[in-house]
Structure formats: structure tokens, C-alpha cells
Structure 1
């Protein structure tokens, strides 16, 4: 005779039915299923066997509410279509899952007010903590939503305005961008185009690094900066603007992988050969960077590590709230064939006297 329960029995099964099947008291079942010590191996096996036979599923929500925890972490990202964000989320989830937490991922699509809405919704769900990568640093609605948080908050790669009780995990954009610029300057480039996103910490650090690299060599910074949304459209318009200038740059740096596709469209339309007629550097390595001919030199960071460290900081805060100093993770420059020496100017052939 099968010990398998009927579908109706499975739906009805609760802790009382498990106790009856195992032939023990409800308190014993509760102790075993909640993982409390004090039950003999034999009793534990009887209870677990009865639970398996009945298809018993504990009410985790009720258990967590009794413990004043939901074992869930909210994650607010600005663009889930970006491979960089996917890697950050994956890194965070690997740490949080191992600690018994689930991740509730939301996307604002780069709209600051939607960032605030997503934060508020997750806080209403009583998440145990938040990891946030907002579109802007000074949006009033986002600042207000974070200020109202009673759960710990970790902010990735932003320097939020106001005196917020949040914790930071940041990329050292200055480091890798400085390496890239110094290489270009050593190759003879003296005018550089720099496309960046909106006025947030990564953009400011990239601009500062490029200008400081000029000054370190005793050169006046000659940098064309084009700020806007991190999108293919901005990448294309920025590159077109650089190349159409009366004095175009001989090298261009893209401060975001989302700019690369559009920038390459503009390069192809002009028939330019990268590494020979124009040098190009991109930030944050993606498949297109490696597969393009020639491969695109890149300022690299480890986005999965960024997510992992954010999750670790958050778990520390959940366990023991305390003040922290920002975590700063390195970036580096990887030279590829898209970077070359500045092209020698074309000279007109001399005319011989006839």
C-alpha cells in the first residue's frame, strides 16, 4: 500500500497532521521542523519522514514574521538590460543565497522617481535590507525614500547627497581611467574625447582622472567632454560630435559599455580604422569589446565582486548595525589593438620646379 498522500491530503497537511502521522506531539514536530536542538536522531527522522510523506511545506512567511525577518533583500537597479548590472546582481545573489536570503530585483529603467517608488515598495514588503544602484545621486524623491528606510542600505557606485545613514561599495574609476589616459599620452595623443553619463560619481571620477593625467605630465588638459545618458544613442552622437569638430580628438574614451555600440556605428560610417586613424578605449568589458576587429581596449573592473562585497556589507549590518567606511574596489586598464600611436599628419607631396 502506498504511503503517498492524496492531492487533497497534501493541500490540507499542516503541523498537526505531521504530528499524527509521526505519532508524536505537536511541540516535538515544531522543534524538529524549526531546527531547534534537543530532539533525538530517531525522533527527527520520524518527523521528517512523516513530513515527506504528507508533502508538508512549512509556512516560511509566518515563521519569518514571528522572528521579525523576511529573509529577503531588495535590489534596486537602474538598467537590468546592462550586462554589468546582471553581473553585479549575480555576485550579490551568490552571497545572499548562501546565507539563506532571497533577492527581490526591481528595475527603474534609469528614471530617478521610479527609483524612489521601487525603494518604497520594497520597504513596504519589509525586506531585511536594500542594495541600491540609483540613476542619480541628488534626486529628492530618492533621497527621501532612503532616509525613511529602517532596514540597512548599501549603495553601489554612487555618492548620495545629504546625510544619509547608508553604506557604500564603490569602484575606483580614477585608478583605471588614469592608467588608460597616461598610455594614450605616452602614445603622443594630446586631444582626447571623453563621453560620460550624467553627473554621478563614476562620471566625475573619470573626468578628474583624465584631466589629472594631463597635468601630471605638465600638459594643459585638452579634453572634449560630452555628458548624457548611458545609451547607444548618446555614444553615437558623442562620437559624431568629436569627429566633426574643427580640431577632432585623436583618441576617444567611452565612460560606459552602453555607449560602445553607438560609437562604433559612427566610426564605421566614417570608415575609420581603430588603432591607426583613431584610438578608442571603453569602460567595463563586454563581449562586443573583445569580439570587435580590432578588439577594444578597456578599463576593467569585477562587477560580480562589486555585488559580492555589497551583499557582505549588508549582511554585516543586518547582524550588527555599525558605521562603516566605504569599500573601494580597484579598476585596471587592459591594452588592446584599438589603441595605437597618434597618426602622423598627412603631408602634401612637394612640387618640383619644372
Structure 2
């Protein structure tokens, strides 16, 4: 997320590394044993990843074919997603620990005349001073817990299936949910959107594997249109209500919303500019994660749009250059998600400090 947007890494036109074919051969060692070199280990790792990906795609296909009625299929698909994204979610978790600073003071510290607990290290000096050095109490003034409200919105439109972004969206959902739960970032809500918005997981409910399977079972990727204006209206109102439900006197709530979509506009897309400005006024970070296909001629980075000026002259420009969201990132491979998402969050928090 550099400036207005973030595209694929410069050193790789496909936006991430590819697991290619690895051929390995080795000669017997001096002691007569056959010891495979590092290339053999890489070959085995690549084969293992390919098998895991094939199993995941098979489970997702079975779930999508049977729909919401197949609860067991959704549970198996969610377990496969968790296994597939386990290492990447741990990578994102470590990044979030550094970026999402603790906001709730829950750790004891300090030297006070009154407080919640006595500092045992100060008792002996207190007695030795003739009870004059009486700052022996601790208070909960050190931030040690995170209290963010994060809303994750997944595009459930038909174009997600047609562009092949549906599977990547499900993987991104599992990855982000696992990382946020592990780091204990605060409250998490998940919604699906297209023609309508459906809240799949509310803020007040803890996230579990069963909750993940339930969310997965609600996706169909069959809705024909995407109402982006309606989504943003729901996001702003939901986060506003969640903020108002805080107890009086609590610290200011940090709120973030991630929109995961292929970025394609439909006839009912609407004008999201008003809601984007309103979200900024209410200190809500809106980050749009564009799921793109690097191998497709329909890549969002290659799409063109035509506009006419007041004189009727036609001009052609890149679609992404007029993308309405000020903070967006283009994702082509799941392996790039932890780093690009962490970079986007880091830049946003740096802007807040300024």
C-alpha cells in the first residue's frame, strides 16, 4: 500500500513466487549411503504443498457443489483451509504483534502511594526508611492487551467464481481469522456481500472452528451483482454501533474493515465516495484487498475504461487509476498476503501518529 495503492512486487511480475518442478539426483556418499541433498528436500516440500492444495480444492469443490446443506462438507473444507494456511497465519500473527500495539492498560507497574497491589520489592526499603518511602503500590497502567474491532467483508458475487478468486477469498478468510484470533487483537466480525450484506459472525461472539465452518457454508459465489455502496453503509453503521456499545470511560476504539473482492464493478455498484469519506471522519480504516489473476487477460491491472469530457472527446485510462478506495492492495498469491497486509497496516498507523 504505497501512496494510493499497492501493486504486485517489482521483482516478480506475477506478484509472488511459484512452486515449480524440481528435479533432483544424487550420488552415493563415501560411506556407501545415499543421502539426498537440499534439492531433494525442496522437491518433497513442493510435492507436499501440491498435494495439500489439491486436497483443499477438492474439498472446496465438494462444499460448493452441495451448498449450505452439507454441513460436514463445510467443516472438512474449513479444516483443510486451516491446514493450508497455518504457516502463513503464523507469519501474519508475528507481524501483527509488532504493528497492533496494546491499547488496554492491564499490567501492573509504577510506584504509587495507593493502588491495587503492593510491590514486594519495595517492602524492605519501606520498613528500612522508617515508613517514609511509602510509594509501594502498583496500578494497572501499562498497556498489555489489544482491543481492536476488525470487520472482514468477503465478496460473494458470481464474478468471484468466474475469475477463480473464490478459493483465494476462502483461503484469505481462514488465514486472517486464524492470525487475529492467535494474536488476540480484539473483536472480529465477518460479513458476506454482493447484492445484499449478511453478517456471518458478530463482534460479541468468540471465533471458533465451528464458527469458521458456519461462515464458509454461507458462501455461494452466485449473486449476480455487487452493491458496494450498500456494503459501506452497513460497515460504517455496524462499527458505529459497536463503538457506542463500549462501556463509558473506556479508551478510544481502533476500528478496521478489510474488503476482500475481485474489484469488478456491477450495474448496482453505486457511488461509495460518501461512505469512504464518512469512514475516514470516524477514524475507520477501509482497506480493499483486490484478488487478481496474473495469468488472466482480465487482470484488474490491465483493464481499461472509457470516459468522455465536456466536449465529447473520448479518453481511455486504466481502471485501477480511478479506483475509489484510497487504501488498496492487489493480491495474486496467498503467500504474499501476510507481508502486503502488514505493510498496509504499518503505513496507516504511521499516518495516524503524524
Name which structure has the greater RCO, CA cutoff 8 Å, separation 6+: 2
TM-score interval for Structure 1 and Structure 2 normalised by the shorter chain: 0.3 to 0.5
The two structures have a TM-score, normalised by structure 1, of 0.33
Larger Rg, first or second structure (1 or 2): 1
Structure number with the higher strand fraction is 2
